[in-house]
Amino acid sequence: MQKPLAEKIRPQSIEDFVGQSHLRTRLRAMGQSQRLQSTLFFGPPGCGKSTLALIIAGNQGKSHLRLSAPEIGLAELRKKLEGLEILILDELHRFSKAQQDFFLPLLETGEIILLATTTENPSFSVTRQLLSRMNVLRLRSLSMPELRQIGERAVKELDVSIPEKSLDLLASLSGGDARTFLNLMEYVRELDQENLEPDKLKTVLPEAVIKGDRDGDMHYELASAMIKSIRGSDPDAALYYLACLLEAGEDPRFVCRRLILSASEDVGLADPMALPLAVSCQHAVEFVGMPEGFIPLAEAAVYLALAPKSNSTYAAYLSAQKEIRHHGPRPVPLHLRNASTTLQKEWGYGQGYKYPHLYPGAWIEQEYLPSELAGRRFYEPKDQGQEPRLLAWLRKRKKI
């Protein structure tokens, strides 16, 4: 069987490995360690997670085996672990929480060293118990110069001449994923030389998977652009950046969290239904999964973009936070304190408190803030959407 190009040029040592310069010192230490610890390699596809696990396991001189979580059950896994010292497990997140618990006693006793990989945030995809028994290394997408370095090795292996601009094009389309980059290079190897020029190459390439986070920042840039588009009431831009995130393979739960925060921060009381709609979107995405999850996500993004905007509650909290951080929390007024004991009653706890439900409209004039802050306003209403209705109720009672 002919090996894929990615397998042919897979590095065999840390020195030959390209990328992850921020982890070099730790990786070298792991490779030389006499007591290797179980480690989880977390990062986007094609950044070198499995390669690093193989290199480190190979340096230990111990029996090791590489398996993929989606392709093996626990019954078969138990058999394969017999006499094994290091297990390299790809896509750990594809194991259920119950399946992940299988490893707990094995790691606790040191019976097995687990080198696992995942493309999903381990805070959500891996149990806390298992994470507490592993080190976590976060890998980044490869940069354009790093992909070009890999491309130079691939050109020698393929014995083909590819124009530099065409290599740049392939690297750009790969979005920091070395595997995608090498697969594209294998594809263009079979093309005629005239089709290797950049302008012609664009028309003959297969549909490439779009990647976000090419240089490690795109992930946050796209999310920021989506939220700013929603804040600016531009549904088209919000949809565009949403699509960029999802087509790049972004975790939809991350997108849901951004939308929920935007519903509270940017829409707020101008449309109180925005927050429950965003939360419902999260539930819908969890229920139907991907790829269909884009449907409720698109609905939520457009709704938030079209909704009236008010950041009054967000600003109100920041104002209260500033007061507390500068001056500390003030004592709670005595009439608001519960008198749970006889001594507290003697101290005046609860005396003078007016129970609002005993008064017309369930409201009575009463000071709730500490005496030093009496009359202080943190919440500044805005004349947007539903907020004027809420503001009218407040003005009627507080005469603001």
Give the 3-state DSSP-derived string for the chain, with helices as H, strands as E and coil as C. Answer: CCCCHHHHCCCCCCCCCCCCHHHHHHHHHHHHCCCCCCEEEECCCCCCHHHHHHHHHHHHCCCEEEEEHHHCCHHHHHHHCCCCCEEEEECHHHCCHHHHHHHHHHHHHCCCEEEEEECCCHHHHCCHHHHCCCEEEECCCCCHHHHHHHHHHHHHHHCCCCCHHHHHHHHHHHCCCHHHHHHHHHHHHCCCHHHHCHHHHHHHCCCCCCCCCCCCCHHHHHHHHHHHHHHCCCHHHHHHHHHHHHHCCCCHHHHHHHHHHHHHHHHHHHCCCHHHHHHHHHHHHHHHCCCCCHHHHHHHHHHHHHCCCCCHHHHHHHHHHHHHHHHCCCCCCHHHCCCCCHHHHHCCCCCCCCCHHHCHHHCCCCCCCCHHHCCCCCCCCCCCCCHHHHHHHHHHHHCC
Q: How confident is the model at residue 320 (pLDDT cuts 50, 70, 90)?
A: very high
Q: How confident is the model at residue 219 (pLDDT cuts 50, 70, 90)?
A: low
Q: How confident is the model at residue 311 (pLDDT cuts 50, 70, 90)?
A: very high
pLDDT at position 210: 45
What whole-number percentage of the chain has pLDDT above 70? 95
Q: How confident is the model at residue 159 (pLDDT cuts 50, 70, 90)?
A: confident
pLDDT at position 215: 39
pLDDT in tens, 248-286: 778 888 899 999 999 999 999 999 999 999 999 999 998
pLDDT at position 216: 41
Q: Do domains 218-306 and 325-398 have the same CATH topology?
A: no
Q: Where are the domains of the chain?
A: 20-138, 144-204, 218-306, 325-398
Q: For domain 20-138, give the fold.
A: Rossmann fold (3.40.50)
Question: Given 1.10.3710.10, 1.10.10.10, 1.10.760.10, 3.30.460.80, which CATH number is that of 325-398?
Answer: 1.10.3710.10
Q: How confident is the model at residue 113 (pLDDT cuts 50, 70, 90)?
A: very high
Is the confidence at residue 207, as pLDDT, over 80? no
Q: How confident is the model at residue 400 (pLDDT cuts 50, 70, 90)?
A: low
Is the confidence at residue 374, as pLDDT, over 70? yes
pLDDT at position 238: 94
pLDDT at position 32: 80
- Taking residues 143-153, report their average pLDDT: 89
Q: How confident is the model at residue 162 (pLDDT cuts 50, 70, 90)?
A: confident
Q: How confident is the model at residue 376 (pLDDT cuts 50, 70, 90)?
A: confident
Give the Cα separation of 247 and 209 in Å (integer): 8
pLDDT at position 391: 75
Q: How confident is the model at residue 116 (pLDDT cuts 50, 70, 90)?
A: very high
pLDDT at position 290: 81
pLDDT at position 73: 84
pLDDT at position 209: 45
Question: Between these two residues, 142 and 202, which has the higher pLDDT value?
Answer: 142
- Report strand pairing: 113-118 vs 86-90: parallel
Is the confidence at residue 143, as pLDDT, over 60? yes
Architecture of domain 218-306: Up-down Bundle (1.20)
pLDDT at position 218: 63
pLDDT at position 263: 96
Q: How confident is the model at residue 213 (pLDDT cuts 50, 70, 90)?
A: very low
Quote the mean pLDDT of the chain.
86
